[in-house]
Amino acid sequence: MRIGEHPILTFPARRKVTFFFEGRPLEGYEGEPIAAALHAAGIRVLRESPVLGRPRGFFCAVGNCSSCLMVVDGVPNVRVCVEKLREGMHVERQVGKGDLLGAVAAKRGVLRAGGRGGEGGA
């Protein structure tokens, strides 16, 4: 939920953009943190922890704690509390540790030398 009226603050008008959460289109404001846009849409579970598979949300909101890692446009381990939202972004919940090398290779269009799975840790 967005804050409407506020006794002290006014929130400047910003450009609305569409992005995708697990394939589902959502609206947010350009340049706000991805986590803020998700939260405003009622989405607070951002990933599942690597060992126990427990749901995690954000904790610090300023990029210090790594609680909020998600897969953004195919790249895992993105701190969505500080990553700015842009039009057309694809955001996915991260399960496990995330395969960063695989993602970088895929982004560069390089075929991975087999063996390493796409799924991260336990």
Where along the sequence are the contacts to another protein (CB under 8 A)? 1-3, 6-9, 11, 32-33, 36, 39-40, 44-46, 49, 54-65, 81-82, 84, 86
3-state SS class at 52: coil
Residue 91 gets which letter from DSSP?
Answer: E
- In whole angstroms, the minimum distance from the beta carbon of 61 to ligand FES comes to 5
CB atoms within 10 A of CB 13: 7
- In whole angstroms, the minimum distance from the beta carbon of 105 to another protein comes to 18
Q: Which does 110 bind (CB under 5 to 8 A by kind): ligand FES, another protein, none?
A: none
Q: How far apart are CA 70 and CA 57, in angstroms?
A: 10
